[in-house]
Structure 1
Amino acid sequence: MSPHTHIKRHLEGAFLFAVLLNFKHIYLYIAPAYGVYLLRSYCITGNNPDGSIRWRSFSILRFISLALIVCLVFAVSYGPFACMGQIPQVLSRLFPFKRGLCHAYWAPNFWALYNVMDKALSVIGVKLQLLDPTSVSAGSMTGGLVQEFQHRVLPSVSPMAALICTFISILPSVFCLWIKQQGPRGFLRCLVLCALSSFMFGWHVHEKAVLLAILPLSMLSVSSAKDAGIYLVLATAGHFSLLPLLFTAPELPIKIFLLMMFTVFSASSLKALYRKEGPLLNWLETLYLYGLVPLEIFCEIAYPLTPWLERLPFIPLLLTSVYCALGVGYAWLRLYIAVFTESAAVKKNQ
């Protein structure tokens, strides 16, 4: 590929991602990865021998051309709304903070674990007579409604607190991508971590957003055995967490069959690809994935037969969300550990 063609591809990538972002603002999750990668690989025209930034090679012209393309796309999208004075209304619909910290069906992220911890502490507090029973509601957070609620024991989370947590969680991956040019694989890793960090700590995250991390991680899974193991955990837990979205009885055998077929195919294919490198999953990861089977049986078959269903209908969703949050959070930590380990190894070899 000629340098001229290479430059055109960067500009084309910036244009297409800007268009994508204006089609669906959920892609804001991965915008930091795209922004840093384009600045690093397009605006910085040279590197030091160790791969670090040569600041004198920063091209103002390239930066301006990149900024103009992105700004033009946004101008076309939001220009009509700006002319009619409707930008505040558009922003309020894009970022509806009044909907509360969590979606009606909790996404399997950090806040699901946080909510359960708060609920458990409030129950224990009442049992030990440390809290007034009248001050602890029946649990608006588990009512399956989209609304704001206050935590009873742990500090309540504001949109700004969720934003700060998200920013802190994506910062190391973006920093690694910026410090040294890492090529397509480094960009994909940063993209996955940005998507997963935003999913873990974002405000009012939809459960389907986990796909933003699973899909690019599937490409990394065929390049590294370590990434393949992380992918199996994340994909299985993430896809399992989406099963409650298909809630009618005729859909039950279909969704279970599709998940089993996909999981078995992924595991067998990756195992064959890395057959010389030993098992992709350790005993704890394997035990966790097998634990999804009794969980599904309990939530879909056993619990509906109990008298608790009418009084506590949210229990199956709560158990699914919390159990899957453990797997998603584990995959997020494993991915970050892999990034830091590889960075330390490269630095030591230099």
Structure 2
Amino acid sequence: MTGAKNPKTTISIPNPIFDLAWFSLIATCVKLLLIPSYHSSDFEVHRHWLALTHSLSLPNWYLDETSPWTLDYPPFFAYFERFLSLFAKLVDPTIVDLHDGLNYKSPSVIIFQRLTVMVSDMVLIFGIYRLGRKLGSRERNLIWILVVWSPGLLIVDHMHFQYNGFLLGILLVSLSCLEEGRDLVGGFVFAVLLCFKHLFAVAGPVYFVYLLRHYCRGGWVRGFGRLVAMGTVVVAVFVAAYGPFVYYGQIQQVFHRMFPFGRGLCHAYWAPNFWVFYILLDKGLAFVVAKLGFTIQVPTASFTGGLVGDSSPFAVLPKVTPLITFVLVLVALFPCLIKAWRNPQPSMITRWVAYAYTCGFLFGWHVHEKASLHFVIPLAIVATQSMEDARHYFILSIVSCYSLFPLLFEAQEYPIKVLLLLLHSILMWFGFSSQFSQITSAKTRATSQKKGYKSGLKESPGTVMQKQAFNIGWIGTSYLLGLLVVETWGQFLHPIILGNRLPFLPLLMISIYCALGMMYSWIWQLRRIISTR
């Protein structure tokens, strides 16, 4: 007797590209709504670069002084602006007019430049797709929430105005290649990134040590051959970028524009890093010395004048030079470089690179607050690996986003930035809770089955005890509540109590308090890297 055949069942396989398209579409809708919002002077910077690269011949790009916003990015970004200028001219010729276009703010230029950032974000989408395509759907979706819906990127790129998503997308593509073992391609893409924005070079030592130990191995002959191959690829990229300027004798001028060390140790609004505490210590010592009756020359409004310039004088402590900051960054990187040398693991490269950018942010010269995105975005990939990583990222992401609030200082943008941060914090909380409750449940079921408990009939006695909800502990909670206190003072109480006195105090409080969180993140990452085998 022949048994009845089982009907064919159709198994639905989730399509990560389709899912990511939905995430990107929702993010794009938000970006479109932000088009009329505030934009900083960076908007005019990039508009001028469109006009500059379109109107002048290549040898004059780094010589032009028509506007205060001179070209100071590497050549690949200049080529990128030149490419965009071809479309800008079709939209509105005034956009690319070197003289008539100065401070041009018509709807055509605003919409065009906003759209260029949205379109260039496709590189970020591609990079995050590559890094998450081999993960489970839950981890993949969580990473997409952290990156594609990042409030920091929305604030900096789509309101304040920059192209960080595009540049970070190139970084993520490079990291995805290294994680897959495609070291030559990963090194090539990183070299391309450096020719777009040289500030990403902070991770250069990590890339160098990792590729030397992981790619250039396998005996003297094979190792040397791979070293030559990697060197050839990297040199070819830099020749393509800088070669024309060498030919025209402008390479010295290019480097002069790219490394303007005369800007001083700190930006007008202090980035929340180590130098905040160094400056405060100097001011505290100056106050004590003056009280003791010693004569001391205290620079007027040094570091608190809110001006961009050479604000490097100290009253008591030694002056900090670019060389000192360079050495400090290398010293902070040293434990990570040792790990990469001894055991170059592809699974660790993203964590190491994020740590490198953290070191550059904390100890670098004239660091912008926006540079926190350089390590916050890569750490989103790491955040799904463990409960500890998730707790760390939850706090760091909130601190990083809050430290960007002063970029949007107009009243009409205040509800937007607060809402973006609150919504993202809620999404992170539920995302991490769902991710790690699922992992805990899976481990619990496996333990129960090993002990002989039948699924669905009886739970093992330790099941309830093994479950762990996502939380950040009382210290983390207290610290985040402190952000609320700082914001309440700066936004509401300071104008009432002090009026127009000490106008720099609210910014100072944000820098100091966020610097505590950034220093904690650096120490946490360092301990994590050292403890990982």
More helix by share: 1
Deviation string for 1:129-170 (max 9, x for gaps)? 3444xx113322111112222111222111111111011001
Residue 363 of structure 2, aligned match among 197, 201, 205 = 201
Mapped pair 1:182 → 2:372: no
Percent of residue pairs identical: 39
Residue 171 of structure 1, aligned match among 334, 356, 362 = 334
Deviating more after overlay: 56-65 vs 294-303: 56-65
| SS at 1:205 equivalent | coil
**8 A Cα contact 1:122 1:131, kept in partner:** no
CA apart distance, 1:11: 2.0
| SS at 2:182 equivalent | helix
Residue 76 of structure 1, aligned match among 230, 240, 245 = 240
1:325 maps to what in 2?
515
**Counterparts of 1:68 and 1:56, CA distance in 2:** 18
1:298 maps to what in 2?
489
* TM-score normalised according to structure 1 size: 0.88
CA apart distance, 1:9: 3.0
One-letter identity of the residue aligned with 2:328: C
CA apart distance, 1:341: 2.0
CA apart distance, 1:314: 1.1
Deviation string for 1:196-222 (max 9, x for gaps)? 001100001111111011011111110
**8 A Cα contact 2:336 2:530, kept in partner:** no
2:407 maps to what in 1?
245
**Larger Rg computed on CA atoms:** 2
Deviation string for 1:241-284 (max 9, x for gaps)? 00100110000111011011111211231133224345542321
Mapped pair 1:334 → 2:524: yes
2:398 maps to what in 1?
236
| SS at 1:137 equivalent | coil
**8 A Cα contact 1:7 1:42, kept in partner:** no
**8 A Cα contact 1:227 1:335, kept in partner:** no
2:477 maps to what in 1?
286
Mapped pair 1:160 → 2:323: yes
**Counterparts of 2:487 and 2:335, CA distance in 1:** 36
Mapped pair 1:21 → 2:194: yes
Superposition pairs of residues 138-153 of structure 1, within 5 angstroms? 138-148=300-310, 149-153=312-316
Deviating more after overlay: 272-281 vs 74-83: 272-281
Larger RCO (alpha carbons 8 Å, 6+ apart): 1
RMSD across aligned C-alpha pairs, in angstroms?
Answer: 1.9
Mapped pair 1:94 → 2:258: yes
Deviating more after overlay: 24-33 vs 90-99: 24-33
| SS at 2:376 equivalent | helix
**8 A Cα contact 1:44 1:57, kept in partner:** no
One-letter identity of the residue aligned with 2:374: L
CA apart distance, 1:58: 5.9
**Counterparts of 2:397 and 2:291, CA distance in 1:** 39
Superposition pairs of residues 251-266 of structure 1, within 5 angstroms? 251-266=413-428
Deviation string for 1:34-58 (max 9, x for gaps)? 222222221123xxxxxxxxx6586
| SS at 2:393 equivalent | helix
**8 A Cα contact 2:432 2:470, kept in partner:** no
**Counterparts of 1:233 and 1:57, CA distance in 2:** 48
**Counterparts of 2:528 and 2:183, CA distance in 1:** 28
CA apart distance, 1:235: 1.0
> What 5-or-longer segments of structure 2 have no aligned partner?
1-178, 438-466
**Counterparts of 2:180 and 2:428, CA distance in 1:** 36
Question: Structure 1 residues 189, 8: closer, same or farther in 2, change over 3 A?
Answer: closer
CA apart distance, 1:59: 0.9
**Counterparts of 2:411 and 2:208, CA distance in 1:** 44
Structure 1 segments (4+ residues) deviating >6 Å? none
**Counterparts of 2:483 and 2:180, CA distance in 1:** 47
1:3 maps to what in 2?
none
**Counterparts of 1:198 and 1:172, CA distance in 2:** 14
Superposition pairs of residues 82-121 of structure 1, within 5 angstroms? 82-121=246-285
**8 A Cα contact 1:29 1:194, kept in partner:** yes
Deviating more after overlay: 297-306 vs 226-235: 297-306
**Counterparts of 1:10 and 1:212, CA distance in 2:** 21
Question: Structure 1 residues 282, 87: closer, same or farther in 2, change over 3 A?
Answer: same
Question: Structure 1 residues 58, 121: closer, same or farther in 2, change over 3 A?
Answer: farther
Question: Structure 1 residues 226, 8: closer, same or farther in 2, change over 3 A?
Answer: closer
| SS at 1:274 equivalent | helix
**8 A Cα contact 2:191 2:238, kept in partner:** yes
Deviating more after overlay: 67-76 vs 21-30: 21-30
Mapped pair 1:39 → 2:185: no
**Counterparts of 2:238 and 2:496, CA distance in 1:** 53
CA apart distance, 1:308: 4.7
